[in-house]
Amino acid sequence: MKEKVQVSGGTGLSAKDVSSGKIFVTDDSLDCAYAWDTGVAVNRYLAELKNGRIIATECRKCKRIMLPPRLFCELCYVPSNNWVYVQDTGVINTFSICHVHWDASRIGEGEKPHLPAVIEIDGASEGMGIMHLLNEVEPDQIKIGMKVKAVWKPEAERTGSINDIKYFKPIE
């Protein structure tokens, strides 16, 4: 039995309606400016990155060192306003070898793949870290558990962004 589809409140259009010009179509692009408030914890985190340091927060109850920093522990629901500096070294928790750019276009022949990884930062609690890029390593040499160190932009080029860390590279 054929199901009846009921359309209400509109007029059906056909390909002929569009191709004949009965329906007007235009392409446009929007120039949308927006602002994003980083909040207290991320604002301080980014300011410390500009100074070449990584900062986290410590839960007063369970003592977890949380990175990226947050103003409360999502496990204990306790405010966490104890600030703690952590290292700019860590270990690879997981990684990917990406053959596409961030805009989903293919990486060209001869270009190196992008190497995003989750880095558990030394001094933060287990499972706490950041996602960033790896470099100065061949894709087939990357291993989970590999020790890495941040490579920072020169101080004059830092802007208070996660990109103040250019990438992480393997260390012995």
Strand pairing category for 129-133 and 147-152: unpaired
| pTM listed for this prediction | 0.77
pLDDT value at residue 5: 56
User: Does residue 62 sit within a domain?
Assistant: yes
Question: What confidence tier does 19 reach under pLDDT thresholds 50, 70, 90?
Answer: confident
Question: What confidence tier does 9 reach under pLDDT thresholds 50, 70, 90?
Answer: low
pLDDT value at residue 83: 96
Mean pLDDT throughout 127-132? 94
Mean pLDDT throughout 141-152? 98
Residue-wise pLDDT tens digits, 49-106:
999 999 999 999 999 999 999 999 999 999 998 999 999 999 999 999 999 988 888 9
User: Does residue 19 sit within a domain?
Assistant: no
User: Does residue 159 sit within a domain?
Assistant: yes
User: Does residue 27 sit within a domain?
Assistant: no
Range of the domain at 96: 37-170
Mean residue pLDDT across the chain? 90
Q: How many CB atoms lie within 10 A of CB 117?
A: 24
DSSP conformation letters of 101-167? -TTSPBPPTTPPPB-EEEEEETTSPTT-EEEEEB-SS-GGG--TT-EEEEEEPPGGG--SSGGGEEE
Is pLDDT at 7 greater than 60 in this prediction? no
Cα dist from 165 to 71, 121, 162, whole Å:
23, 13, 6
User: Does residue 10 sit within a domain?
Assistant: no
Q: Which residue has the tokens 């003592």?
A: 63
User: Does residue 160 sit within a domain?
Assistant: yes
User: Does residue 113 sit within a domain?
Assistant: yes
